[in-house]
């Protein structure tokens, strides 16, 4: 079993490394639909394609590959208990049919006849190489059974209307997907699943390289199939890209960085940092050791330096937050300078409040901005201040205790304790 599964990889890997063969015989760009079956196995376990490959279910990998091949609409056949998990893997307008339901045939027929064109049918779990599909002539079987077919929607609908069973219609008039672009996933055994995940990683590197990304150490990179990377971007070792992350051109990402569900502009540097559900505009530098939490919008030419944490904040263009600073629930203008150790104090134990900082403001080191508070344009706060009231534009705020010096206090203390 193990050797048989391994030998099926060779044409698949060849297609990844030799994409000119891979694209031959792919789909033309007429209306293309897909019917995807998500069967439960004999133990009635969750469908194999709903198991995670790296960070995303196998169905997400399948869906993204089919969309890259030109599929524009989906019908998914699954157990009713699996519908919610399956719906998260496919586009929002995907149609669903419950396995064995009385109306299954009618829904399938309606899907096939709604838009004339081609339909891809997926009958078993597979991992597809991205960006194209290679179909054999109707009636010809692949060397390795992939369980995937493509045929005319009109022909399949006519076969079913004439009483032909579904599997028979596929065998009779469907073109099987070649083993050069589809690897069956027959087992959830941990050793086999590690192998599948390794192939998914290879696929991702190959896909992103075609987009123009460059990798220093591809073996230490992991991502989801929904990630997009621009031309000329360099991915350094230990980088993880997740969710619907989009990275622009000519960026440098890593080492040891994780970005999830973010939109990153062109020319951005992210060094040893984590970013989540946020946007970063062009030429901004993040890190090392920065943490950008959800719902942040970081402008262009910004510096988010070491041990800086951002949360639910908007940072204007050209602002510098160089080190050891927390900015949460804040609206920061353009070209603001944050001194080391600044904290926006946004939580009073019951509710959270926002801090507003105007353009060209200067926040001194170790300033506490106790929200809700507003710092005006071009205003300054003195180092060590705890600011609890609004500061008008062009003003200086000093909010700290006056310095007191008690001459010889330490000597008197020592004498009182009998010390010299």
User: From edge to edge, which strands make up the β-sheet containing 373-375?
Assistant: 228-229, 246-247, 263-264, 279-280, 297-298, 314-315, 330-332, 355-357, 373-375
Q: State residue 154 phi and psi, 5-degree precision.
A: -65, -40
- DSSP, collapsed to helix, strand or coil, labels residue 166 as helix
Cβ–Cβ < 8 Å for 365, 400 = no
Determine whether 317 is exposed, middle or buried from the number of CB atoms within 10 Å of its CB (0-12, 13-18, 19+).
middle
**C-alpha closest to that of 340 among 326, 360, 328, 329:** 326
Integer CA distances (angstroms), 115 to 138, 157, 283, in order: 22, 12, 45
**C-alpha closest to that of 343 among 320, 324, 316, 318:** 324
Structure tokens at 197: 């995940």
Positions annotated as catalytic residues are 323
Cβ–Cβ < 8 Å for 358, 380 = no
Give the containing element (helix H, strand E) for 53.
strand 52-53
328: which strand partners?
A: 311
CA 306 from chain center: how many Å? 24
Give the containing element (helix H, strand E) for 121.
strand 118-122
Helices and strands (H and E) in the chain: how many: 10, 38
**C-alpha closest to that of 68 among 29, 96, 24:** 29
**C-alpha closest to that of 124 among 237, 8, 20:** 8
């Amino acid at each position: 079993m193990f050797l048989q599964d391994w030998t099926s990889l060779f044409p698949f890997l060849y297609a990844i490394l030799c994409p000119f063969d891979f694209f031959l015989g792919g789909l033309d760009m007429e209306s293309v639909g897909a019917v995807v079956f998500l069967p439960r196995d004999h133990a009635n376990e969750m469908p194999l394609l709903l198991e995670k490959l790296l960070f995303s279910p196998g169905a997400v990998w399948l869906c993204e590959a089919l969309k890259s091949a030109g599929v524009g609409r989906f019908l998914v056949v699954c157990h009713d208990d699996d519908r919610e998990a399956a719906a998260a893997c496919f586009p929002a307008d995907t149609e669903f049919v419950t396995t064995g339901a009385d109306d299954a045939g009618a829904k399938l027929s309606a899907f096939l006849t709604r838009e004339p064109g081609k339909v891809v049918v997926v009958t078993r779990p597979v991992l597809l190489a991205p960006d194209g599909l290679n179909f054999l002539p109707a009636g010809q079987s692949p060397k390795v059974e992939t369980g995937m077919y493509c045929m005319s929607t009109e022909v399949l609908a006519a076969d079913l209307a004439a009483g032909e069973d579904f599997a028979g219609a596929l065998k009779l008039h469907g073109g099987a997907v070649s083993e050069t672009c589809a690897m069956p996933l027959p087992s959830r055994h941990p050793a086999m699943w590690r192998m599948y995940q390794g192939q998914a990683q290879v696929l991702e590197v190959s896909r992103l390289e075609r987009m123009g990304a460059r990798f220093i150490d591809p073996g230490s990179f992991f991502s989801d199939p929904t990630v997009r990377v621009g031309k000329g971007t360099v991915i350094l070792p230990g980088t993880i890209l997740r969710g619907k992350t989009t990275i622009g051109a000519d960026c440098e990402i890593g080492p040891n960085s994780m970005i999830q569900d973010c939109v990153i502009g062109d020319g951005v540097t992210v060094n040893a940092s984590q970013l989540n559900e946020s946007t970063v505009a062009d030429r901004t530098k993040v890190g090392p050791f920065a943490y950008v939490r959800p719902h942040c919008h970081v402008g262009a030419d910004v510096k988010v330096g070491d041990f800086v944490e951002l949360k639910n904040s908007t940072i204007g263009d050209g602002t510098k937050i160089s080190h050891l600073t927390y900015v949460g629930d804040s609206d920061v203008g353009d070209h603001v300078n944050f001194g080391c150790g600044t904290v926006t104090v946004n939580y009073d134990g019951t509710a959270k409040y926002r801090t507003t900082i105007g353009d060209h403001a200067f926040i001194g080191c170790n300033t506490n901005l106790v929200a809700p508070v507003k710092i005006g344009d071009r205003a300054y706060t003195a180092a060590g201040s705890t600011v609890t009231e609004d500061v008008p534009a062009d003003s200086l705020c000093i909010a700290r205790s006056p310095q007191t010096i008690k001459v010889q206090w330490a000597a008197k203390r020592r004498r009182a304790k009998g010390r010299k």
